[in-house]
Amino acid sequence: MPNMPGQPLLAAALHSRDRNNAVLLGLLRVLPAGALAVRATEDGPSVAGSFMHLHSVRLNLVHENAPEIGVTLPGQDWEDLRDPDLIARHLDESAAAVGQAVQGRQMAGRALDLHDHLLLMLGHLIWHEGYHHGQIKLALKLAGCPVADEDAGPGTWGVWTRRTAPEPSLRPWHSSVIL
């Protein structure tokens, strides 16, 4: 399927992608102390590993679909990083790479190398990240350290539904997209 020429739809999809990254950053910022080490099961990934998996999947999709972006793939998919600031930087970097890949291919009129369409790749990422967002919250709840909706809501659900605007520092990767 060739790329869609409709820029308004693509801009809205990229904006959704930005909001989704802001939601992940919002969740990361309200985690209680020690939460990055939490695992839902003994052999399952840590919360930190889940965030890093999202970063890894983004970069792998960019590498597979738009190799000209030249991303460096992480050495480990579920890396157990415990530094929330470094995790946030990685999430911002991979969000920017996704935006560069999609915008670059759209502007060049080129289809993605693997996915059928730019919007399908963005949808794949948003769905995948929403799934893991829920898994992270469930792992925290099972471990006895849930994040209260009052704490997480403004930086997550409030951003997605536009009830609260993300901080400018949470959305630098697509400054050309009109909010």
Specify if 71 maps to a domain: yes
Specify if 41 maps to a domain: no
Share of the chain above pLDDT 90, in %: 68
Q: Give the structural domain span for 116.
A: 7-33+49-170
- Alpha-carbon span 127 to 158, nearest angstrom: 18
Write the single-letter amino acid at 51.
F
Specify if 40 maps to a domain: no
- In this structure, what CATH number is given to the domain that contains residue 148? 1.20.120
Q: How many domains does the chain have?
A: 1
Specify if 83 maps to a domain: yes
Q: Dump pLDDT digits (tens) for 110-143.
A: 999 998 889 999 999 999 999 999 999 999 999 9
- Alpha-carbon span 36 to 138, nearest angstrom: 13
DSSP state of 81: -
Specify if 99 maps to a domain: yes
Q: Dump pLDDT digits (tens) for 63-91.
A: 999 999 999 999 999 999 999 999 999 99
What's the pTM? Answer: 0.85
